Amino acid sequence: MRPGGRITLVGAGPGSPDLLTVIAHRVISDPSNLVIVDRLVSNEILDLIRGEYKIANKHPGCAEIAQREIYDWCREGVMDGRHVVRLKIGDPFVFGRGGEEVLEFRNSLGIEPTVIPGVSAAFAAPLLGSIPVTHRGVSNQVVMCTGYGREGTSPDLIGYHPEQTVVFLMAVGRLRSLCHNLVNMANYPSNTPVAIVERAGFPDQRTVVGDISTISDIAEWHDVRPPSTIVVGEVVNVLLTDDDFAMEVDKDEGEGARNEDDGGAMIIRGRGGLIVQPTSVE
């Protein structure tokens, strides 16, 4: 017997509710819907849900168990005749198992889910951090990569090209090994610029800048955490140059002060890197 419910696969965007699509907002705010949520979906977006929701605790090491729990919740919902909204961070089809979930719903439930795309952090996060992923004369190609391959393995890396930008998603927890592999396996110069955009689109967004040789220490010093997007390549320096930062403090102190000319942003220079912390997102 075919289940009476249906499934909609929805992208939540990088995290800020302002970056939800109109249709995504409409679907998650319908109080009659059951929403199955990924762990990294922000609290600000959870606050927009008006009906029942369940959060999958997909922590490292237990992702497969959590994924099976997600499928079980979805199955229970559709068998009860409900509209199940599967809410995933970013865009569901960019390293988000969106395709895998579509196949599972087809094979186990005989359901073709409706798909609502989300804004992917792969492009939105660098943009919000004032980093163009392409720039004439600097970068003419973009590679997207995840920090975790199948069964927790490290992904293969494409070899270095001076006019290439690489954007890593879900990789900040492996930053040190990633940098090692970029140099020793993909032949990247150790002084290749790297930026990490943390909590893109939120008032406490930070952009941490260094190079392959320094970014791991910088990120640890400033306690950079997920959700974060890593950008590797010369595009990091296209807009974020030293001339943009009027205030400079001792690099060992990591202190900062507010600059009247920076639009209300907190500018910090510490341990070889720059942090830009916007107070608001227009």
- The set of catalytic residues is 38, 58, 170
CA distances from 258 to 32, 262, 278, 282 (A): 46, 8, 11, 19
d(CA 160, CA 177): 17
* CA neighbor of 216 nearest in space, from 239, 242, 190: 190
* Residues 122 and 71 sit within 8 Å (Cβ to Cβ): no
E-state strands within the chain: 6-11, 34-37, 53-55, 83-88, 114-116, 141-146, 164-169, 193-198, 206-211, 228-232, 256-258, 266-270, 273-277
190, with CB counted inside 10 A (0-12, 13-18, 19+), is exposed
* CA neighbor of 8 nearest in space, from 34, 32, 31: 34
CA distances from 106 to 103, 109, 111, 220 (A): 5, 6, 5, 43
* Residues 241 and 261 sit within 8 Å (Cβ to Cβ): no
- 273-277 and 266-270 strand pairing: antiparallel
* CA neighbor of 237 nearest in space, from 185, 191, 184: 191
